[in-house]
Amino acid sequence: MVEIKNLTKYYGAHPAVQDISFTVGDHEVLGFLGPNGAGKSTTMNMITGCLPSTSGTVLVDGYDIAKEPMEVKRRIGYLPELPPVYGDMRVRDYLQFAAGLKGIHRSKRKSEVDNALERLRLADVQKRLIGNLSKGYRQRVGFAQALLGSPKFLILDEPTVGLDPTQVMEVRNLITALAKEHTIIFSTHILAEVSAVCQRVVIINKGQIRAVDTIENLAAAAEGDPTIHMKVEGDVEKVSAIINSTEGVRELREVEYISAGLNRYSVVIAGDPVRKALMTKLIAADCMVLEISSEKTSLEQVFVKLTRIDRKKTRDEEFEELAQKLEADRLAEEAANPYDDEEVAD
């Protein structure tokens, strides 16, 4: 298990991560989701011991990263956003080198490297210089390094960056397979990746956690009044009047023309009983309901809802900071050049 308690990181007076707490269970894939600059990489670096925290604790398998860093690092495989691979080394040589740094016994290094090469489909390029590989292949070399030694915990920071769609799918499948043997924290700003491989998700923005839950529970909590979509045969004015006059209808949001006498209506309602009442009224008025469906709240909608206010605050703060900086620069320039606006006598 990984336990994060009140983790905080300041850069000078700037709080990059503020008092965050969450846990990751054994064999769980936890999505760490946030926009660029939200504090994801800073958190990953603190969990792995690459960056000291200002305060708070990180416990990995019961070991405190601040007190027993080597015990924690032995249990972690880390893929940073920019993999630390050496361009002048060949793929196999680099992985052999990384295996040595990880303390893997010399007798086991070849089998460990062979396994990593096979899992990431790197066998065909194992003798090539890393510097001559594409960005996607370099990313896969970094991923292979993280798997060396079969660590109990995998920390993956943006693991699909630079990969083509086929490689992205392969990485998704690999993460799903690895979850049977490993606990995985998977940091990304790509919502589809979280939906595809994660059981739970942490949403972070401006260094603060906004939500921790399953995708389904987050969607349920974020839902307001449900929206239904109906394909109805009948006069559009007649159907619209029935919809608007039905008790519990919040809004007739949209009417989409399909063909003569056939339209699709998007309706916000107060709950399921309203849908039944609306269906009854339309049928009684000889308006044929050909299709009806409910709109489910997506992870994208949850994400936008949880981060919308913060993004606005960030823009406002950026404008304020820019104005303050420009004013400070102006005052500093005036102080440095007090006679610029005065005539100097010969």
Q: How far is CA 64 from CA 2, 57, 88, in A?
A: 10, 7, 36
Among 48, 69, 64, 31, which Cα is nearest to 146's?
Answer: 48
Q: Which tokens in the block code for residue 216?
A: 């389904």
Calpha distance 259→263 (Å, rounded) = 7
In this prediction, residues 254-274 reach a mean pLDDT of 90
List the single range of 102-116, 209-223, 285-299, 330-344 with lowest mean pLDDT: 330-344
What pLDDT was estimated at residue 343? 46
Edge-to-edge strand list for the sheet holding 76-79: 76-79, 153-157, 183-188, 29-33, 200-205, 208-214
Answer whether residue 54 shows pLDDT above 60.
yes
In this prediction, residues 211-234 reach a mean pLDDT of 80
Answer whether residue 344 shows pLDDT above 50.
no
Give the burial string for 260-294 (b: 16+ CB within 10 Å, else e): eeebebebbbeeeebbeebbeebeeeebebeebee
What pLDDT was estimated at residue 227? 85
Determine the 3-state secondary structure of 337 from DSSP: coil
More confident residue, 274 or 332: 274
Answer whether residue 253 shows pLDDT above 80.
yes
Q: How far is CA 245 from CA 128, 275, 323, in A?
A: 71, 13, 51
Among 183, 204, 201, which Cα is nearest to 192's?
Answer: 201
Residue 198 burial (CB count, 10 A): 25
Q: So where are the chain's domains?
A: 2-221, 224-295
In this prediction, residues 301-320 reach a mean pLDDT of 58
The one-letter code for the residue type at 250 is: R
What pLDDT was estimated at residue 335? 61
More confident residue, 185 or 313: 185
Q: Which tokens in the block code for residue 49?
A: 């011991």
Among 37, 55, 54, 104, which Cα is nearest to 77's?
Answer: 104
Token pair 């989701």 is found at 33
Q: What is the mean pLDDT of the chain?
A: 85
Give residue-wise pLDDT tens across range 61-99.
Answer: 999 999 999 999 999 999 988 888 999 999 999 999 999
What pLDDT was estimated at residue 223? 60
Angle between helices 299-336 and 215-222 (to 10 degrees): 80
- C-alpha angle 35/40/44, rounded to 5°? 160
Domain 2-221 fold:
Rossmann fold (3.40.50)
DSSP H or E segment with residue 182: none
What pLDDT was estimated at residue 346? 43
Give 345's pLDDT tier (boundaries 50, 70, 90): very low
Among 40, 32, 42, 302, which Cα is nearest to 194's?
Answer: 32
- C-alpha angle 69/75/79, rounded to 5°? 95
Give residue-wise pLDDT tens across range 191-208.
Answer: 778 888 888 999 898 899
In this prediction, residues 163-181 reach a mean pLDDT of 85
Give residue-wise pLDDT tens across range 118-135.
Answer: 988 899 999 999 999 988
Quick one: 165 exposed, middle or buried, by C-beta within 10 A (0-12, 13-18, 19+)? exposed
What pLDDT was estimated at residue 188? 84
Give residue-wise pLDDT tens across range 29-38.
Answer: 999 988 888 8
Answer whether residue 19 shows pLDDT above 70.
yes
Give 325's pLDDT tier (boundaries 50, 70, 90): low
Relative to beta strand 227-233, strand 262-269 is: antiparallel
Q: What is the residue-wise DSSP string for 194-254?
A: HHHH-SEEEEEETTEEEEEEEHHHHHHHH--S-EEEEEEES-HHHHHHHHHHSTTEEEEEE
Domain 224-295 fold:
Alpha-Beta Plaits (3.30.70)
What pLDDT was estimated at residue 332? 60
What pLDDT was estimated at residue 331? 61
